[in-house]
Amino acid sequence: MHPDGDVFPNNTRCKTIFNIDKIKAELGYNPTLLAKWLQATLNWFFRGYEGDSIGYERRQEELRIIEELKTEMEHV
């Protein structure tokens, strides 16, 4: 372990409790309570969801390109 603590602070080896007070104070961050955003998300899903995003019909092309890139990377 590094003398000043773990080199990768998010790679903890012990239980961690995160405190967002600093980001609230310095940036004015105000998180939305789980119950509030979850309700908004569920309302959208059940009342406003209209299917897959535009362009999703090209998913097979995306997958083909990914496979081509993976094959190219194997030879690097």
Interatomic CA distance for residues 55 and 59, integer angstroms: 8
Closest Cα partner for 28 from 20, 19, 36?
20
Residue 73 has pLDDT above 60, yes or no: yes
Q: Tens digits of per-residue pLDDT, 6-60?
A: 556 666 566 667 788 988 999 999 988 898 889 988 988 888 877 777 777 888 8
Q: What is the C-alpha to C-alpha distance for residues 9 and 47, in angstroms, rounded to an integer?
A: 41
Phi, psi of 3 (to 5 degrees): -60, -25
Q: For residues 8 and 76, which has the higher predicted lDDT (pLDDT)?
A: 76
pLDDT surpasses 60 at 1: no
**Which amino acid belongs to residue 21?**
D
Residue 19: the pLDDT is 84
Give φ, ψ of 44 to 5 degrees: -60, -45
